[in-house]
Amino acid sequence: MAVGTDPKRMRERMVSEQIEARGVTDERVLAAMRKVPRHLFVQEALAAHAYGDSALPIGHGQTISQPYIVALMTELLEVKPGMTVLEIGTGSGYQAAVLAEIGCEVYTVERQRSLYAIARERLLEMRYFKVKCKLDDGTLGWPEEAPFDRILVTAGGPSVPEPLLEQLADPGIMIVPVGRSKRSQELVVLRKKDGSFTEERHGGVAFVDLVGMHGW
Ligand code: SAH
């Protein structure tokens, strides 16, 4: 981070210009986005860009999502403190930290060993003890800890992974970027209630690929 820049002020600006300006209003989400030090979730060389309006590379062809997309998905999840949330695609650990900051118990799965190791260490160092990390194919979910009040997939797949449908609590909400072509998907919001699902679709997004047993 360049000398003279104040991360807290950069976060205030990020929230007002990129997130509130686009219509996110959930105070819990806005407060968490103002608090989590995003610049510590990217490599030092990219820290100066951490509060910009874009996704950033985190190595191994993967990215930390654009701040607005993190805020939008967190708002769509309708999380409350104390809820259990399963995240597929830990990546940098930033989204998990935002959920933990809100007071959720977060279970996050990453399939890429070095990203898993770096994120786990980072989250521990930052004292996000409400986040549990696992190295595995997240399209299988985390059956030992199911059911989850909320499930968030942060990579784009061909369809909603079947095991996740079963691991969602009732009532529960799950968000998955789904699309035919890689790197261009729609955000699918699934609600489970009384044993049945309803589906809503929210605009286009561009996530890295969800791979694995129920992925590409
Ligand atoms: N939520 C992350 C960004 C995720 S990028 C953040 O806040 O930084 C998508 C991540 O999903 C990548 O790290 C990729 O390795 C991971 N991924 C892709 N397929 C996966 C799978 N089947 N199981 C677990 N992780 C997966």
- The predicted pLDDT at position 11 comes to 97
Does the pLDDT of residue 180 top 80, yes or no? Answer: no
Q: Identify whether the C-beta of residue 123 lies closer than 8 Å to the C-beta of residue 97.
A: yes
Sheet holding 105-110, edge to edge: 131-135, 105-110, 84-88, 148-153, 168-178, 185-193, 196-205
Whether residue 108 has its Cβ less than 6 Å from ligand 1: no
Query: What ligand 1 atom has the least distance to the C-alpha of 98?
Result: 7
Distance, CA 4 to ligand 1 centroid (Å)?
33
The pTM (predicted TM-score) of the whole model is 0.97
Measured CA to CA, the distance from residue 72 to residue 203 in angstroms comes to 11
Q: Which residues pair with 64 in a beta bridge?
A: 56
- The predicted pLDDT at position 55 comes to 96
Q: In this predicted model, what pLDDT tens digit does every residue of 107-157 receive, in sequence order?
A: 999 999 999 999 999 999 999 999 999 999 999 999 999 999 999 999 999
Q: Which two tokens stand for residue 174?
A: 């799950």
Q: In this predicted model, what pLDDT tens digit does every residue of 14-70 receive, in sequence order?
A: 999 999 999 999 999 999 999 999 999 999 999 999 999 999 999 999 999 999 999
Whether residue 111 has its Cβ less than 6 Å from ligand 1: yes
Active site residue 65: yes
**What's the pLDDT band for 1 if we cut at 50, 70, 90?**
low
Overall average pLDDT of the 199-204 stretch: 92
Does the pLDDT of residue 198 top 80, yes or no? Answer: yes
Whether residue 115 has its Cβ less than 6 Å from ligand 1: yes
Distance, CA 116 to ligand 1 centroid (Å)?
9
All domains of the chain, ordered by start, with CATH? 53-205 (3.40.50.150)
Q: Give, to the nearest 10 degrees, the angle between helix 94-102 and helix 67-77.
A: 40
Measured CA to CA, the distance from residue 198 to residue 190 in angstroms comes to 6
Q: In this predicted model, what pLDDT tens digit does every residue of 71-114 receive, in sequence order?
A: 999 999 999 999 999 999 999 999 999 999 999 999 999 999 99
Measured CA to CA, the distance from residue 24 to residue 66 in angstroms comes to 14
